[in-house]
Amino acid sequence: MNIDSQLLQPLFFLLVIFFATAINVVPSKAAADDHGTDCPISRCRGDRLVIKFPFRLKDDPPHCGHPQFEVSCLQNKTMIQLSSSSGLFPIRTIDYKRKQFRVYDANGCLPRRLLNFTISSNSSQLFHISYDYLSYDSLSYDSLPSYCDTLTSALIVNLTLLNCSTDQHLTRNQSLTRTFFTYYFPISCLSVPGHQVLAFPPTASVADLPVTTCSIWRKHQYLPLRSVDANYNGYECELDSFLWLEWEPWYNFPSCQYCGGYCEPNSSNQLGCYFQQKGHASSRTSIILGASVASFALISAVAAAVFFFHVKRSKSVQEKENQLKVERFLKDHKSHVPTRYSYADIKKMTNGFKKKLGEGGFGSVYSGELPINGVPVAVKVLSDSKGNGEDFVNEVGTIGRIHHVNVVRLLGFSAEVGKRALIYELMPNRSLENFITSKDQSNNTLFDWQKLHNIVNGIAKGIEYLHQGCDRMILHFDIKPRNILLDHDFSPKISDFGLAKLCSKEDSIVSMTAARGTVGYIAPEVFNGNFGNVSHKSDVYSFGMLVLEIVGARKVTALASGNSEVYFPELVYKRLVQGEELDLKLDTDEDTRIAKKLVIVALWCIQWHPVNRPPMKAVVRMLEGGSENLSMPPNPFASTSAQTDQPRTTLSS
């Protein structure tokens, strides 16, 4: 047992003794509040909710609270009956300052409890539902997403409940084509196998649902909604699992407006004036409480100091273990790794990290020169955010053994703990992202369509080499414009292998504990296994999204449509099918031929199901062949149910 544990154990024991003593010294019904010494603050055993005026326990004096706020203690929960037919609801929180409380269903199905539940709005009812009411009659079908973006308070919405016959497990965002995004709400706790209950806006068309057999179960059902952060999709609405209620201040009632004492229910449960004096805590209790607080503060301070010292030492031990793993890896793969430098060497070659080229979540990149021959290099100094060296090992273990014209070359590294760095050949034209997303229009016109084709073809060849050119297949998992560097001739080179995985060429299916990649380029199967297995086809999808970005479809379509929320690849597909112009800057027939080829290849690559995507070998062959031999791919934007019914089409390798 180390010294940290020897110190922490007795301190923890002292804290336990303190809490046990405090529970005995301070009664469960503590000092009286503003409603007299006979109206103590209470709690249910096992629940931290404070029960005080206007709430009261069943055995409390009548003037301590109103009958409508009478609560009971059941199974370590504070329960309240909201109406004569509602049954008991557990209370999650009470906000006495805002005069609000929140209830939920103990079985996790609030919609079931609300099917036959109403709260009267007459003057005798002291609490009511604390929501804004919203009718879809005054809200257009398409405006709910934007409403959810600005929703700042809870909302009760008039919905229609549908009973749909389907074996699908529908979710709120089941359709990733943005057709139904946030427009219907599956209620799983009301559903049974073969039948899914959906909450649906009454102004919307049932024909828009992803299932065809639905019947109306209940109309004008009011259910609570809340706004949730959907990361890359902004804010969305979802069914709330809590019901908020609020009560009126007593001074709003006529009999309380001129009350000189306290306004509260009398023996007849009518609101009136109550003049009982406040109680006073004894000086002995104050002394005991003060001494207890001081003792607790002292013990806590010592415990915190020992704890932080222990954490610091544990972190140091963990860093040493991680460094041993890194050193073991470098020793086992010394024949494949490039030159190793000390951190002092790194500092010299970057002239004290004088010129920064860029930075990101991985760390910072600096310009430098190799000490022997003066070759310009880019030095990436890794941050400690991951700490375990996983990104560092991935980069050195994968890119260190790669030699290809379209893959950036790793020239060296530093492996000192907390000071790890990677040394690459310097790309004078930086990344592709600077040219295809730049606000400077002159950057977007540097490349003609033939040059764009060459860049795309080079990227495809680089990915094909990763998949087939080494002893083991390398899956990149982060193909995007920022990770495509450009040399002095604007030839593309794939970089950043921090998320890469090695696997067998015979079986490229890999298991993943969490999604990896960049939003917008991640293949569907990476974050949802229902689409298929994660494999080399995941890189194919990312490549397809990259190509659509390169050809400018996204930017030009947004300008043409006047709506930045349009899903651009889908619009491009529809224009190709209908024989319409792509709204790209095309000066010659050859430009048109190249643009159509790039878009068709990209659409093949972004098929939802991995089996429908071509391997990179076939992609290179398509890019180097004539456009007249390319066939239109299946619609990658059809609904999930429609795609399931379609025969899957594959391209041979």
Mean pLDDT for 140-152 is 50
- Angle in degrees, 0-180, between the axes of helices 568-577 and 537-550, rounded to the nearest 10: 80
Mean pLDDT for 641-649 is 42
Token digits for 341? 């430098």
Predicted confidence (pLDDT) per residue in 431-488, tens digit: 999 888 766 555 556 788 999 999 999 999 999 999 998 888 999 999 999 999 999 9
Q: What is the pLDDT of residue 439?
A: 60
Which DSSP string corresponds to 45-77?
TT----B-TT-EETTS-GGGS-GGGEEEEETTE
Task: Identify the residue with better confidence: 405 or 22.
Answer: 405
Task: Identify the residue with better confidence: 321 or 474.
Answer: 474
For residue 177, what pLDDT band results from cuts at 50, 70 and 90? very low
- In angstroms, the Cα distances linking 608 to 232, 239, 285, 616 are 19, 28, 69, 16
Predicted confidence (pLDDT) per residue in 410-426, tens digit: 888 888 877 888 999 99
Mean pLDDT for 77-88 is 85
Q: What is the pLDDT of residue 579?
A: 81
Residue 281 C-beta-side C-alpha neighbours within 13 Å = 17
Angle ∠(209,215,220) on CA atoms, nearest 5: 90
Q: What is the pLDDT of residue 521?
A: 92
Q: In the annotation, is 478 catalytic?
A: yes
Whether 277 shows a pLDDT value over 80: the answer reads no
Q: What is the pLDDT of residue 158?
A: 80
Mean pLDDT for 588-612 is 93
Is-cis flag, bond preceding 54, omega within 30? Answer: yes
For each of the domains in the chain, give its residue range(s) and CATH number, in order of start: 3-130+248-274 (no CATH), 132-239 (no CATH), 333-425 (3.30.200.20), 439-645 (1.10.510.10)
Mean pLDDT for 349-358 is 92
Query: Is pTM, for the whole model, over 0.85?
Result: no
137: exposed, middle or buried (Cβ count in 10 Å: 0-12, 13-18, 19+)? exposed
Mean pLDDT in the chain? 76
Token digits for 70? 């009478």
Q: Beta-carbon neighbour count of residue 625 at 10 Å?
A: 11
Task: Tell me which of 391, 478, 496, 539 is the catalytic residue.
Answer: 478
Whether 211 shows a pLDDT value over 50: the answer reads yes
- In angstroms, the Cα distances linking 503 to 470, 472, 536, 613, 625 are 11, 6, 9, 19, 30
| Residues counted in the chain | 653
> Greatest CA span in the chain, whole angstroms?
97
Task: Identify the residue with better confidence: 246 or 15.
Answer: 246
Whether 17 shows a pLDDT value over 90: the answer reads no
Query: Which residues, other chains included, contact 326 with Cβ-Cβ below 8 Å and sequence gap of 6+?
Result: 389, 392, 393, 415, 420
Which DSSP category does 175 fall into?
Answer: -
**CA 383 – CA 322 distance, rounded (Å):** 15
Mean pLDDT for 265-287 is 52
Task: Identify the residue with better confidence: 129 or 89.
Answer: 89
Query: Which residues, other chains included, contact 150 with Cβ-Cβ below 8 Å and sequence gap of 6+?
Result: none
The winner for highest mean pLDDT among 51-60, 146-155, 280-289, 358-367 is: 51-60
Give the H/E segment covering residue 129.
strand 127-129
Whether 527 shows a pLDDT value over 50: the answer reads yes
The response to whether 585 counts as a known ligand-binding position is no
Q: What is the pLDDT of residue 90?
A: 94
